[in-house]
Amino acid sequence: MKQTAIRLGALALCLTLLAGWTLACADTTQSGGSDEFPATVEGAQEFVQQAQETLLDLMVEGGRADWVQATYITEDTQALAAAANEKITATSVRMAKEAARFDGLDLPYDTRRQLGLLKQALTLPAPSDPAKTAEVARLASSLDAAFGTGKYCRSEENCLTLDEMILTMSTSRDPEELLELWSGWRQISPPMRADFARLVELVNKGAAELGYSDLGAMWRSKYDMDPDDFSAELDRLWEQVRPLYEKLHCHVRAKLAQAYGELQVPLDQPIPAHLLGNMWAQTWANVYDLVAPADADPGYDLTERLVAAGMEPEDIVHAGERFFSSLGFDPLPDTFWTRSQFVRPRDRDVICHASAWDLDYEDDLRIKMCISINAEDFNTIHHELGHNYYQRAYKEQPFLYRDSANDGFHEAVGDTIALSVTPKYLVEIGLLDAEPDPSKDIGLLLNQALDKVAFLPFGLLIDQWRWRVFSGEVGPDEYNDDWWALREKYQGVRPPIARADTDFDPGAKYHVPGNVPYTRYFLAHILQFQFHRALCEAAGNTGPLHRCSIYNNKAAGEKLIAMLEMGASRPWPEALEAITGQSKMDATAILDYFAPLSQWLDEQNEGRACGW
């Protein structure tokens, strides 16, 4: 599974300082002085209205600059992005501070909620000092570009892109080659460390100006609950799924030890990170062939089927569109097909990291991706289109509500759709002749678990690490040691070679130099199964949860559309209840989905020493 991204919803995007998604914002002297908006109910309402109008205009203008920066990386586009960041940061900080002036008033619900969204949506709040605002913008743009242009060069004539290394690591079983690529990619990140440390220092000052102890506390405040309560909620959800993860880890380690030998994979230690088929060991589906049951071959390989069908990148996107149309969604606009990036251009550097964009908050929807004809990207495009259809569903909301109920929801919707890419669905669209026999379900479930369940601790730990950095508990000289301590604690993986204090392995993962909060992905992995269970119930499914597809079911589509149209207008527990009937996140749907696999893992692990 790829970790994908969206070009964030209205407020979140406008106030998010992601170098690849920067905005050209208005002069900071415009719109919003305290004399213009007195601290009254009427003043608050007028301020919110004008803020929405200003932000919408800026977003439409700035979105096009963001797109060019992400799809045409040059020194000029980076400079333009940095300049835009400087303006947006100053404007957003000013708006957040102005919004705080109305805290003591008894305000109507919508005014109070929209003010709260204004205050909490900043991702990288710069200090109000113009020079420091400019520095934050420059650092963010530089870090993002350093990742986007990163390559591993064996020689001047032999340089590998990240895409090429990912592809090789997904199939290679040569531990020396895997180690070379793993360590080679991590050569791009040590130069980022000083810039990242300086950025942390600056944005913590910006968060303090807004009343937060540090940036981590500010990020955790965005979930309609107390930051400490949110941390406790994450712990509760992790404890629900941890036993299943530990069963999976035990089985995978034992099978890797059989493949590579116990000297490479000791049975009482964390798994070496380069042997799990993924550059970051965040998902393990690429080692399925090494760990699968002997008799679980479902009789087809989706990648082979896609290639045999002669599918091109745009054909895969059309297949995803047809899924949504079958649920009752309108077709995508013509401009989606003419303006999206589906393949890597040959003439320039681009950020290929898959993302979904909404440039005008109406119908200018786009995908930015470098599609390969394989099963992974077939699933990814269903996921990314989930973002686009969500974006269009809430376009009738006031501008500040044109976002998901929380950031985990946006990711979960796309993943929920991808869960319906089942053998039953593949039969219905002509890619399979018949569904595999139920006796093959263990193999299919194991493959899914290597993607979904294996990801859970990784999805949790990235922000756990950043929150420790933001709080000052972990300093620059401890960045790498703490990173690997958390990876061992949660994932049970370790670096394959010794790491130095001067290394900066977190920077080798896009979301760290790209400054994208990551807890959303952990939440999405919980919520997608909760959504899937509810939509399957709406569709009248009576079979096993893992065999359900909501393709071509209008009843499930109506339930989904109703939730999407709410946008961010209500607290997320209400949006959750609208689609699931529950107001609390619940990981038991994951346990329901993987119940047959859990029992099988118990049988396989009998007599093994699990844990690390």
pLDDT, tens digit, 9 for 90 and up, residues 219-233: 999 999 999 899 999
Q: Residue ranges per domain, the chain?
A: 5-147+193-222, 151-187+229-299+447-508, 302-435+519-581
User: Of all residues in the chain, what percent are helix, strand and coil, respectively (each to 5)?
Assistant: 60, 5, 35
Cβ proximity of 1 and 376 under 8 Å: yes
pLDDT in tens, 162-194: 989 999 999 999 999 999 999 999 999 999 999
Higher pLDDT, 81 or 459: 459
- Do residues 31 and 98 make contact, with C-beta atoms less than 8 angstroms apart? no
The burial of 429, by beta-carbon neighbours within 10 Å (0-12 exposed, 13-18 middle, 19 or more buried), is given as middle
Of residues 359, 360, 355, 362, the one with CA closest to residue 392: 362
Considering only the C-alpha atoms of the chain, give the largest distance between any 2 of them, rounded to a whole number of Å. Answer: 74
Residue 4 pLDDT: 54
Active-site residue list = 353-354, 383-384, 387, 411, 511, 521
Task: Name residues whose C-beta falls within 8 Å of residue 235's C-beta, 6 or more positions apart in sequence.
Answer: none
Taking residues 334-342, report their average pLDDT: 96
Cα-Cα-Cα-Cα dihedral sign, residues 115, 116, 119, 120: negative
Partners of 356 in beta bridges = 6, 367
Amino acid at 144: D
CA 14 centroid distance within chain: 18
Of residues 73 and 7, the one with the higher pLDDT is: 73
Please state which of the ranges 27-36, 220-229, 262-271, 286-295 shows the lowest mean pLDDT. 27-36
Beta strands in 383-510 (DSSP E): 493-494
Contact criterion met (CB below 8 Å) for 120 and 219: no
- Residue 27 is predicted with a pLDDT of 32
Higher pLDDT, 263 or 94: 263
pLDDT (mean) for 570-575:
96
Average pLDDT, rounded, for the chain: 90
Question: Does residue 7 register a pLDDT over 60?
Answer: no
At residue 158, the 3 state secondary structure works out as strand
- Name the pTM for this structure: 0.86
* pLDDT for 213 beyond 50: yes
In this predicted structure, the answer to whether residue 124 has a pLDDT above a threshold of 50 is yes
Contact yes or no for 462/477 (Cβ under 8 A): no
The string of pLDDT tens digits covering residues 460-492 is 999 999 999 999 999 999 999 999 999 999 999
What whole-number distance in Å separates Cα of residue 296 and Cα of residue 24? 53
